[in-house]
Amino acid sequence: MARMKSVNPLDGGTLREFETWEAPRLEQALADADAAAPRWAATAVEERCEHLRVVARVLGERREELARAMTLEMGKLIREARAEIDKCAWVCNYYADEAPRFLADEVIETDATRSFVAYQPLGTVLAIMPWNFPFWQVFRFAAPALAAGNVGVLKHASNVPQCALAIEAVFCNAGVPKGVFQTLMIPASLVARVIADPRVRAVTFTGSEPAGRRVACEAGRNLKKTVLELGGSDAFVVLEDADLDLAAGAAVTSRFLNAGQSCIAAKRFIVVEAIADAFLARFRAGVEALVPGDPLDERTTLPPMARHDLRDELHRQVLDGLRQGAVAVTGCAPGEGPGAFYQPSILDRVTPGMRAYEEELFGPVAVVIRARDEDDAVRIANDSRFGLGGGVWTTDTARGERVARRLESGAAFVNGLVKSDPRLPFGGVKASGYGRELSYHGMREFVNVKTIWIR
């Protein structure tokens, strides 16, 4: 029987091992979800929302315990882990407040005596989630899906099994009825079976582009609604009139948060040539001030990467970039010791054709691309198969808005870090996926938008 290992990225030690489920245990979980779905859908939205408020309270009460578990299993800085738990509680409370309004019937004037649009749940939603934000990614789907009356089954990443089980326990401790939220401890080989199961009505996936393509193919074959949030190579455009101190400080945070392991981290720093050297000097100083170490230590500002294989692949991308002519400004080598550390790094003079230009670098490496002017910066920003987020830095906010509108991305921020927020829709275009999470847009992805006409 296959096993899931929970491994500490700091020292490579095994924390726990779990046996994966075989087909009979999976069948029972799907049957439980199917039995719970009509009862949960028939529960008044106000009651469903009260359950979410209790979930938020449980998250708050167990904040330190859950954050520590996340840090040990995935390597995230403990303060970032606490912030992630807080954000999960926020999204639960947000939908508890807003779901009745988002799900209210929408009256439309037609030739009928009365006509309206009703928003009704689909049933069981399968969530296939990644390891990099092991709580937030799950609650980002679960809060709106459950508030809308759906039930959820979670296939989490195999390297965060303790987080996966802890999330299920939070819902259980909050009194959410049996079958409404379950973690499936299954190997990847059983995922296609779950997608194909007629009791599963929709699929949401966050992860890599290749895996997203496979999920979409399987879901399409079975006519299942999907939302995909895939990779990103976000542009961080610095124009010649930017506040360079502000931009460089934000650049360090945006690239190195979560050890650079974020889809919406800034990855391509597209800097107008006239101020490139001045920006780079400030950026380098901030990067070299990062402190690698134990993520449970409050003094640490750069944790290890989540796995050694991820670090090794990142280093191959960096070495290929250097061989192709990129310039190492700082770092560009694995860290010392047993942990999955990679030195905080900057690659300058990156140009088309290099791996560092074409691919997503998922780790603590910043890619600097120099642009002639604003138009050239926009061209470079859009010269990517990805389109998740992007940022523009300028002291002229009207100019920033014009540039933001030109970026081919699901979100564009002017003089601010790209981030997800329950109040705003989140998702991408091009190879970064389709569909939206969060806000009322995300809630309505997994409902039947149903026309009712009466005379």
Please list the active-site residues: 229, 263
Q: Is 434 exposed, middle or buried (0-12, 13-18, 19+ CB in 10 A)?
A: middle
Q: How far apart are CA 258 and CA 71, in angstroms?
A: 11
Contact 89, 59 (CB under 8 A): yes
Euclidean distance between CA atoms 345 and 87, whole angstroms = 29
The stretches of 75-135 forming alpha helices (DSSP H) are 78-102
The answer to whether 448 and 125 are in contact (CB under 8 A) is: no
Rounded Cα distance between 85 and 63, Å, is 6
d(CA 238, CA 391): 8
The torsion defined by the Cα of 346, 134, 264 and 370, in degrees rounded to 10, comes to: 10
**At 338, which helix (H) or strand (E)?**
none
Secondary structure letter of residue 335 according to DSSP: P
